[in-house]
Each structure stands twice: as C-alpha cells, then as structure tokens.
Amino acid sequence: MKLLSKILNNIPNINRFERIWKIAQIDFKKRYYNDRLGLIWALLNPIMSVSVYYIVFTMIMNRVSEGIDNYALFIFSGLIFWIAFVEMLKKGMKTLISKSYLIENIKLNKIDLYLSICLSISMALIFNISAYLIMAKLFGVNYSYLLLYLPILILNIFLIGCGTSMILSVVLIHFRDINHIVDIAIKLGFWTSGIFFKAELILDKLPFVYYINPFVGIIENARNIALYNTCPNLVTMNLNVLIGIFIFIIGAIYVERFGHLACEKL
C-alpha cells in the first residue's frame, strides 16, 4: 500500500507541470525584464559575439573561414546552441544556492527547480532560433520541413544542460574549486565544438572528439537543418539524445541522493 502511494506520488501531475512552468516563467522574467532593453539582450548578446568573431575570422585569421558561405550565419547557428548550454550549466550549477529560500522553507522536489531553470533558458534559445531563421531568410537561405528536427536538438541541449548542472551543483557543495575547472572545460568545449569551423577540420586530427563532445554532432545537425537544408545525421542525433538521457538520469539520481547536503553545508 505504501509502495503504491509512493508510485502515485511520483507520477508527474498537473500541479507539478504548472509549478515548473511558473518558476521557469518567473526566472525568464527576472532575467530580462529588469533591464531597459529586456528580451532584446537575449538576442543582442549572440549577435554582438557573432560580429566580433566574424571580424576576427574573416579579416585576421581568414584561413578558418575559407570555403564557408554565409560565415556569419554559420557562427550564429552554432553559437546560440552553445550559449544556451553554457547558461544552463552556469545558472543550474547555482540552483541550490539561488533557490535556497524555497528549499529551506517548503518541502519540494529539487529536480523541479533545475527543470524550471533549464526550461527558461530553452525559451531564450527558441527565441534566438526564430531570430536566426528570420535572418537566414533575409540572407537567402532556404529551409524546409526539416525544421521539425529542431525541437529534438533543443530537447537534447536541455537534457545535457540539465543533467550536467545537476551533477555539478552537487559536486559544488563539496568542492568549491570546481568553478575553475568548469571554466576551463567550457573553454575547451567552445573551441572543440566546431562553432567557427567545419567540424571535419578537428575530426581529421582528433576523431575521438566526435564521441566525447556531443556538441560537435548537435551543431553539425543544426547547420544541416537550418543552413544547408539537408537531412541531419540521424545516427549522431540519436546517439546524442541517448547521451543526454544518460547524463540527465545520472544527475537526477545524484540530486535525489545528495541534494540534501546543500542545506547543511552552504
């Protein structure tokens, strides 16, 4: 009987979805509405980065951009996915601290908080993708029904981002130093995910990156869909979703088991 009620309690009910959605909404609002320009920053930020990289890689280090049409769009399409992931990681990692006002006073499922935060960042990602699609149209890029694959990529980023942030936020409780390591790892990922160059460039020399870093595949697929209008590589897509699910489950287990330590140590 007890087991049955436990199972029933864990079935996500409407109340739970409502809650996750609400916290995500609030998070989104908090991030953008306090600034003058509001949501435009979500877009302005990648656009400014793109222009910096564009100038550097077409004028100074122009060997990198050789042979790539629409180089600005090329960077943009990769960068928005990467930025979304990094934001999930950085914000998610601090969930147990930033939401401690809730954790300490009401009994709640901590995983909901991570889901909300990553959901709010996914909303910004969707916003950026639509901005990209409008710009791509202006540049004369064609896309088709293949866009229907995009939600899978977003889900994939969500799973990986949410999972890693859950794992890292627990690790953060024990080792504050993890912050520095994460910074380096983000840099490493940034330069090996093929945001500025065709993935083949790095895969020729370090083929194992393809299997270690799921972003190579995700960004490649994003470009296949939204820039080249070709069918994405379904093998890597499935593989990456599986990796995402795996990381997510590990993270969820981690938070369930060790999340309570946060209130003791922070």
Partner 1 sequence: MENNLAIKITNVSKTYKLRSTKVKTIRERVTNLVAGKYIENDKIVALKNINLYINQGESFGIIGKNGSGKSTLINIIMETIKPDIGGNIDVYGKVMRLALGLGIDANLSARDNIYVNGSIIGLSFRKIGTIFDQIIEFAGIPDFVDTPVKFYSKGMKQRLMFSIAMHANADIFLLDEFFGGTGDQEFRIKSDIAFKKRILNGKTNVIVSHSLQTIRKHCERALWIHKGKILLIDDVDTVIKAYMKFIKSNK
Residues that bind partner 1 (CB under 8 A): 14-15, 18-19, 22-23, 26, 29-30, 34, 101-108, 260, 263-264
By beta-carbon proximity to partner 1, the closer residue of 241 and 252 is 252
- CB neighbour burial string for 192-225, b if at least 16 within 10 angstroms, e if fewer: bbbbbbbbeebeeeeeebbeebbbbbbbbbbbbb
CB atoms within 10 A of CB 95: 24
Task: Please tell me the distance from the alpha carbon of residue 59 to that of residue 223, in angstroms, as a whole number.
Answer: 23
Q: Minimum distance between the CB of residue 169 and partner 1, rounded to whole angstroms? A: 16
By beta-carbon proximity to partner 1, the closer residue of 137 and 257 is 257
Q: Minimum distance between the CB of residue 24 and partner 1, rounded to whole angstroms? A: 11
Q: Minimum distance between the CB of residue 16 and partner 1, rounded to whole angstroms? A: 9
Q: Minimum distance between the CB of residue 18 and partner 1, rounded to whole angstroms? A: 5
Q: Minimum distance between the CB of residue 19 and partner 1, rounded to whole angstroms? A: 4
Which two three-digit tokens encode residue 140? 């004369």
By beta-carbon proximity to partner 1, the closer residue of 9 and 142 is 9
Q: Minimum distance between the CB of residue 251 and partner 1, rounded to whole angstroms? A: 19
By beta-carbon proximity to partner 1, the closer residue of 28 and 158 is 28
By beta-carbon proximity to partner 1, the closer residue of 47 and 96 is 96
Placement of tokens 């996750």 in the chain: 20
Task: Please tell me the distance from the alpha carbon of residue 227 to that of residue 215, in angstroms, as a whole number.
Answer: 17
- CB neighbour burial string for 163-180, b if at least 16 within 10 angstroms, e if fewer: bbbbbbbbbbbeeeebee
Count, residues in the chain: 266
How buried is 153 (Cβ within 10 angstroms: 0-12 exposed, 13-18 middle, 19+ buried)?
buried
- Return all residues near 9 (Cβ < 8 A) that are at least 6 apart: none
Residue in 176, 129, 134 with CA at minimum distance from that of residue 148: 129
By beta-carbon proximity to partner 1, the closer residue of 137 and 260 is 260
